Each structure stands twice: as C-alpha cells, then as structure tokens.
Homo-oligomer: A and B are copies of this chain.
Amino acid sequence: MELNQAVQALTALAQAHRLTVYRLLVQAGPAGKVAGEIASALGLPPATLSFHLKTLTHAGLIHPHPEGRHVRYTADFAAMHALIDYLSENCCGDTRAACAPPAPQPPVTTTRSPT
C-alpha cells in the first residue's frame, strides 16, 4: 500500500459520521446496506449522507451496488486489511516485542494457557 492511498483511507475514516457508517457496513458483512437504511440509522439528511458515502467510496473502503432505485453499499474487507497492515507494517523492526496484540483472541477452540 502507498502513503497517499493510506492517507485517503484514514481521512475518510477520520470523521464521526463516516466512521459510524463504515462500521455499520463492516458489521453488516457482504450483505451491506442500502443508502436509505444508513440514512435512517444515522439520522442524516440525504445530501450529507451522500457526501460521506462518496468520500468513503473514493477512498476504496466501500463500494456501491446499484439495485433499481436503491444503492446498496458494502465494505471492502481487503481494503480494510490492507490499511491495518500498512499501519503495523514492519512493527518493531520485525522483532516481536511490544507489537503483538495483547491476546491472540482464541475463536472457539480453547487454547489452554498455563497462566
């Protein structure tokens, strides 16, 4: 990933309404949400929401999928991971010091730790 691309993505996320929209779409998964659903979830006027959706779209974080007179938006998960990787890239010069996340987050299968 390139600097300017990352800045654009971070700029898109660095705004309360847009960050809320983005997380809503991330949590919605591949099904996404149509613009109207998002608008009523956030209580934003159409013009304002459209502006924010455009910003997120231009940053490559979400994508529009026209469906008749609705437009469904979905999060781009690859873009999300690319951004996250860019932030933590070569963390601590590859020495796994303070870089590892606090808990590796065992999903369902319990990893017994000797505590």
Q: Binding site of A, secondary structure by majority: helix, strand, loop or mixed?
A: helix
A50 within 8 A of B: no
Give chain B nearest CB distance to A81 CB in angstroms.
5
Give this chain's copy count.
2
> In the complex, what's the smallest C-beta–C-beta distance from A37 to chain B, in angstroms?
15
Cβ-closest chain B residue relative to A90:
B27
Task: List residues 70-93 of chain A with CB under 8 A from any CB of chain B.
Answer: 77-78, 80-81, 84-93
Contact between A91 and B3, CB atoms less than 8 A apart? no
Are B27 and A92 touching (Cβ within 8 A)?
Answer: yes
**24 A-B Cβ contacts within 8 A?**
A3-B16, A3-B19, A6-B19, A7-B16, A7-B19, A10-B19, A13-B14, A22-B87, A23-B86, A23-B87, A26-B92, A26-B99, A28-B92, A29-B92, A29-B93, A29-B97, A30-B92, A77-B91, A78-B102, A80-B87, A80-B88, A84-B84, A85-B101, A96-B107
